[in-house]
Structure 1
Amino acid sequence: MLLVGGFKYVGGRTGAKLALDVVTGELGVLADAIVEQSLCFTGRKQTGLLEAGRQRLALATLAHHHARPGFREEALVHEQREELAFGLVHAHHSAVLLTWWRRWRRKRLLQSGKLDDAAFVAAVEGVRAARALDAASRRRLRELVIVFLAEKEITGMGGFSVDDRVCYLIAVQACLLVLELGIECYDGWTSVYVYPGSFREADGEAEGGVFAGVAMQGGAVALSWTDAVDGAADGRDGFNPVLHEFAHKLDMADGAANGVPPLPDDMDPAEWGREFADAFAELGKDVDDGRRTRIDPYGATNPAEFFAVLSETFFEKPQAVRKEMPAVHELLVRYYRQDPMA
Structure 2
Amino acid sequence: MKKTILILLLPFLCAARIPEGLDTKTPPKRIIRTCCSFGVDVKVSVLSFLKVTDITSLSAMGDHTFMGNKAEKNGIIYTHKGGFIDMGHLRDIADYTAYLFALIKENRNVGLHEFKLGKEGGTKKLNVFIPDHFTDEDIANLAGKIAYDLSAWHEISTWYGSSYIPLVPERYSSFSVEDAYSNLLGAHLGIKAVLSDKPYEEEMTRSILETLHYLGAVQTEEETRQAMNDVKDIWWSGTAKLPSRKVLIKRQFEILGRVSPLVVDSDLRGESEYDLLVPEFASDGKKLTDYYTLQIKTSYKIPVRKVLGFTSRERYITQEDFPALIEYAEYLATTSEQPQELSSAR
TM-score category of the 2 structures, normalised to the smaller one:
under 0.3
Q: What is the TM-score normalised by the length of structure 1?
A: 0.26
Q: As a proportion of its length, which structure holds more helix?
A: 1
Structure with the bigger RCO (C-alpha within 8 Å, sep 6+) is 2
Structure number with bigger Rg = 1
Q: As a proportion of its length, which structure holds more strand?
A: 2
